[in-house]
A and B are shown apart, each in its own frame.
Chain A
Amino acid sequence: MAAADVTTDGSLEPATNPRAARSAVIVGGNRIPFARTGGAYVKSSNQDMLTAAMEGLIARFGLQDERIGEVAAGAVLKHSRDFNLTREAVLGSALSPETPAYDLQQACATGLETVLGLSNKIKLGQIDSGIAGGVDSASDAPIAVSEGLREILLDLNRAKTTVQKLKIIGRIRPKDLAPDAPNTGEPRTGLSMGEHQALTTAQWKISREAQDELAYNSHRNLAAAYERGFFDDLITPYRGLNRDSNLRADTTLKKLSTLKPVFGKNLGSEATMTAGNSTPLTDGASTVLLATAEWADSHGLPKLATVLDGEAAAVDFVHGKDGLLMAPVFAVPRLLARHGLTFEDIDFFEIHEAFAGTVLSTLAAWEDEEFGRTRLGLDGALGKVDRAKLNVNGSSLAAGHPFAATGGRIVASLAKILHEKGTVDGRPARGLISVCAAGGQGVVAILEAA
């Protein structure tokens, strides 16, 4: 990597600021197993699942009656009545009812952004402890009335006389009664996320075989992690589910290769994206406990990792300059440069598998000399990610992807493997997280073993 504009890695932490000495520590996490939509959590609301994930975290770390500095969580598919989703989950939990909470939403980056936001508050000295989280249910998704009906109902609400009301009711037409269910389509292009990724996948000439192999590794790695008890202190079962229901421990490359393509069928090139190398709609929730080192120590709690820093980016996908899910490609070099780091300094890469094609397009862009020079402003390619360090405990292709819950899943798992790894060449083990999001956005972060 060439990062000419970086002069020092310490410039962000001026010694004159006493607050900068505080680091944000990841104590641990808890999530419920992720369930394919329409499965085990079909009757569970976002609030149910977020509360369950939080209750497991509280039990694991003995946080009953504790006044946590702040709880931040969110959901991507959220009904307007859930405006205080996180606060309601807190009130339904064993935490002190005096624990404040706020909701946050940044599409699939919601979970990671709650971690970064609370970490920043901890580093600033505003809070000593925080719980970050996210939840999503595609099963219990809110359904809105059509725009036409909504306008009529609002008018009806304003009407004063019976005659006025009857007149307004008379405006309702059958087409107004069709419900408006949420979808993953981009408002500005009308294309689904899968179709957007298909464009990118084709642009970077990612093969079907490479995508299937990534999916296969995701299932294999996740299954192995379960087998060795890795998730014993990261997951609490929920509604009879002990493991992510999307996990196919016995899947093979052969089986994956027989699946029919579902996206990119009209692009002219070979369609390569299947249900096997794309994440399914999923229900689930995750939480992460953050604190200062002092708070963790005084509560007798572990310190797995610290949140070093984070970076957000966005791309102009609307005019086709970049692929919808390619923003992390730009966020990562900026974050690395800020800390004077290269891929050589990273021991674990957690790249969210929205689609196998997303991960592979991202890696291809980073390995591309031309792209590095013209788009990232580097001397050449950003670098090559060692595949042995990539998503070592599986990722979203196997676990599933309840949008806002994915960030918490990744942060807690990565913090645990960093803690297990300890140090590398005398420095703390380091992990990079990259999460792409709808709207052409991406959020990335670096964690270090504590």
Chain B
Amino acid sequence: MTDTYTQLVSQGLGRDVAKRLGLPQPVVLRRHQPGAPLVTGPVLVSGDSAGANDLATTMLGWGLDVRRNALPKEKLGAIVLVLDTVQHPEDLSKPVLTAGASLRDLSPNGRVITISRTSQSARNPASAAARQGIDGLLRSLAKELRAGATANGILLDEHLDEHLATTSPSALGALRFFLSGRSAYVDGQFLTVRSTSGSLPIDADRPLAGKVAVVTGAARGIGAAIARTLHRDGAKVVAVDIPAAGDHLAAVANEVRGTALQLDISRDDAGHRIIEHAVERHGRLDIVVHNAGITRDRLLANMDEGRWQSVIAVNIAAQLRINEALLASEHFKDSPRIVSVASTTGIAGNRGQTNYGASKGGVIGMVRSTAALMEPFGGTINAVAPGFIETEMTAKMPFAIREAARRLNSLKQGGQPQDVAEAIAFLASDASGGISGEVLRVCGQQLVGA
């Protein structure tokens, strides 16, 4: 549920009062519902490269109302800024300023999406400067947008050719994700597309049809939302959690018409048990979501071995061990997906969470390193790093700290478990085949940290 303050100030008298007092004005975000349109209005495709032309044609094919030039006073659902051919920072001014002139026409919960190339693969300093400039530009722009609108970028690897719309399903998949309500709480972020692998779904509402997905820590909170979202998208879900959480787990498994597997993932044979259950019960295994995690917070000066060890054991060592079993299994070779839940703590750090930060930073390192091992059989592995998410866990934080944590992001509100789940569902889909080793933050562009 949206928090009370957001409900209060997103309409009527509350909105007027908040505006006059200069209070934060979060709005109720547009979140995906099956059958919902990708965007809320016309899409302006800005840029004059071959890639921009291809993209405009492709989006017309999706049934979107595409504009190549803005019409005066027309409200826009999204602005797609194609910058894939910039060679010098000076090349940015014309397309960026043109797009900027249309920002006032962007609807609430609108989208700005840049498409450019990775700076690491640039051939000369000027090109690298132009490309990296887009990073700073996009992150700043995201902070300027209001009313639930977000700005995110797609980075294309050098070897992807200019006709990205026809040759890179994952660029299109990422574009659809960013345009849709699935990315409601993703803001100021980039996704890098490294290959032409992957394919767009036949049925956009059931992109995971026929897939078997394992979700650890599925009994409640974010894990339960992941199970629900993967089920909604068509997957058969194996819900895993510790035996002590079995009653909540059973309720989730029954709700999503899946199976419950009571299993401590830190057991040595956890990977084997997961594979065996998925294959015996459901015939295959396509997706593993490493969501289970624990916190045992203490300042490092007061940290005991038990608190440190248990967090490392559950949050990262278990994932490494399960991945070893997955990589060794003949049942995990058909373009499989691993998605790990990291945390912004693993990126920016958090006081009192050295153990948790180490484990979640570890997840990011693991994901980057494992990507190459998944590649030979078309597999991908990615991480999603949630920021402040409204769960039973964060509901227990002291009021003032919770309220601060909730507002210190560009969207001025906490995210919902569903927001994390949507990002995971995208990275678990066939459409993300060209995206691997990435960390996608679902944090509303948290102001603190990276």
Q: Show the binding face of A for B, using Cβ within 8 Å.
A: 52, 55-56, 58-62, 64-65, 94, 229, 231-233, 235-239, 242, 300-302
Contacts and interface: CB of A to CB of B under 8 A. Distances in A.
B260 A237 contact: no
Contact of A56 (B245, B250, B283): B250
Given A56-B247, A64-B257, A233 B262 contact: yes
A229 B239 CA distance: 18
Contacts of B32: none
B246 A236 contact: yes
B243 A235 contact: yes
Contacts of A300: 280-283
B28 interface: no
A363 to B, nearest CB: 34
7 contacts: A55-B254, A56-B246, A59-B249, A232-B263, A233-B262, A237-B245, A300-B283
A41 B267 CA distance: 31
A66 to B, nearest CB: 10
Nearest to B254: A94
A302 B276 CA distance: 11
A237 B257 CA distance: 20
B258 interface: yes
A302 B258 CA distance: 16
Contacts of A58: 250, 254
A236 B249 CA distance: 9
Nearest to B282: A300
A31 to B, nearest CB: 11
Given A56-B246, A60-B250, A60-B260, 6 more contacts: A58-B254, A59-B259, A62-B259, A62-B281, A242-B243, A301-B281
Interface of B: 239, 243-247, 249-251, 253-254, 257-260, 262-264, 267, 280-283
B interface majority secondary structure = helix
Contacts, number: 64
Contacts of A231: 243
B280 A59 contact: no
Contact of A229 (B243, B245, B247): B243
Nearest to B262: A232
A55 B250 contact: yes
Contacts of A232: 243, 262-264
Contacts of B282: 300
Given A232-B262, A232-B263, A237 B244 contact: yes
Contact of A62 (B246, B247, B258, B283): B258
A47 B250 CA distance: 17
A363 B253 CA distance: 44
Nearest to A239: B247
B244 A242 contact: yes
Given A300-B281, A300-B282, A300-B283, A61 B259 contact: yes
Contacts of A301: 281
A56 B247 CA distance: 7
Contacts of A59: 239, 249-251, 253-254, 259-260
A313 B245 CA distance: 41
B251 A55 contact: yes
Contacts of A238: 247
Given A59-B259, A300-B283, A237 B246 contact: yes
A29 to B, nearest CB: 13
B41 to A, nearest CB: 40
Nearest to A55: B250
A141 to B, nearest CB: 24
